[in-house]
Structure 1
Amino acid sequence: MADQYVVLVTGSRTWTDAHTMHDVMAAIVAEHGPGRVTFRHGRCRKGADMMCDRIARQLGAHVEQRPADWDVCAGPDCTPAHRKPRRDGATYCPGAGIHRDAAMVDEGAHESLAFIDPCADRRCRKREPHGSHGATETARMAEEAGIPVRRFPEPRQVIDCFTGQWADLSSFGPSTVTMYSQLENRTITFPSGEHGFNWAKSLIEAERAAVLAAPTPAEAKRIGRRVTLRPGWDEVIRYKVMRAIIAAKFTRDSPAGRVLLDTGDALLVEGNTWHDNHWGDCRCGRTACWRPGENWLGRMLMDRRVELRRGGQRE
């Protein structure tokens, strides 16, 4: 089969997008001819491998399966304690999969297709967004071996530090926020989004005035921690206030709005080190902050970005 165009396929066990996989594989078969294309995969019982197998046969292409030998230790570092138990009481080598993947790469290929979902391993403690481990590592090895790799879906940019050119994405950003206040029945210009958010926490006029007069966003936040919270703030109102501030700050004609649109399709994550796993995602390294943050600010910013692209101006 020396004249074969060999395609190494790797992917996540959770992969379900058969349409994308079919379109990509069909284009390769159409270019080289069904009898001259071989798709090589690792024969996992579910996900991308089995989907690839089925589609390749439908297209009339050749298939090479490379199942892992889970009963044999993958290398010299695999000690008896390293082996994991099966439900039937036998044990297996957890390194057999990556050992098989390395062997597939060593066989060589004209190109590699990587169909990678986000990591779904509940034991994984990586904080940054990343793909499933086995498929990601196989794609990396293929690239190191000089095999061109095409990834699906296309890699997405992640903006997780709201500083520098992205400073306006932060509530501490330099842009002022002008909006109408029902509490005081007037239009107010806040020095920052942080001023506006903490100002809205209280129904007491003197407390709101202290927040508004704060010289910096950090001071506004500090004062806001001591005000008397209005009823329903944590449950509902804080989310409405934040969305209203974002709508007023990020318009199609504002500097902040242009910054938001310049983020393209990037994933926006308010990464921080001050233990805020509600509005953002804390990366301080402490055990208490290992769980991924809810990232409400990033999610609301991405929602607003969609509105701006559609031409909507939410009031």
Structure 2
Amino acid sequence: TFKKLDINDLVHFDFLDPPAPETLMRALELLNYLGALDDEGEMTDVGYQMSELPLDPQLAKLILVSPDYGCSAEIVTIVACLSVPQIFMRPRESAKQADEAKAQFSHHESDHLTLLKAVNEYDMIPDNEKRQWCWDNFISERSMISVMNVRRQLIGIMKRLDIPLVSSDIKGDGSFSSLDVRKALTAGMFMQVAFRQTTGDYLTIKDNQHVSIHPSSVVKNRPEWVIFEEFALTTKNYIRTVTVTNVDWLVELAPHYFDIENFPKCEAKGELEKAYVRLAHSRRKRG
């Protein structure tokens, strides 16, 4: 927003409540990695488009790249879900029933896709049955209505910015391409990645925070690489709303971020190096 207003010297700007210099530099670095700022700190065309979307930068970038994967309709629904309070309710006295209800929508590789499946089913329910459906499935009607409103607003902005609204649902029955959506999520959220170490716990990439996948996640098979929406510090460090990703996607989609020469030494670095070798081999084969 400051860059859009031609306020370029953020370090010396007279903030009412100035952020720590490290916080400011980290924010500028994030915007540079997302392509919103160039190496001189000037706003790019991508940055101007991102600034039109009332979202966190990574979610805005996610919407911008999603047409490249043929799933912007699915991504805008997921982003709407991430912009409102949790749609799944889990009252303590009915926890077992709530878990069983959520399991109907569960996608074993992704909490994001689990949200998408729930919204897609809600979309198919007649208006006069939606309230009862939410009650039966332990879904917050208020949050779901908010999802609809946010999605409608975002689609309106996408149309104004000429961002194509395309779907991987070729059957028109609420189904989608899990692969395309997960790859799009990776392209937008590549800075929020965790790697499972041989010790069994996860380490966030670059920040080197030891974390665990939150127990509420539907992703139970302890995949090697995940992207995550939220880092939560409670009794221990948790990552919430996770999706299985692929190290080969990471080096293909964000080589500027996963720069091996400047990468901290860790187990993940070895896996990234192997992925770069595979990518180079694949490109040589293609000619």
TM range (shorter): under 0.3
In proportion to residue count, which structure has more helix? 2
Using structure 1 for the length normalisation, give the TM-score: 0.22
Give 1 or 2 for the bigger CA radius of gyration. 1
Using structure 2 for the length normalisation, give the TM-score: 0.23
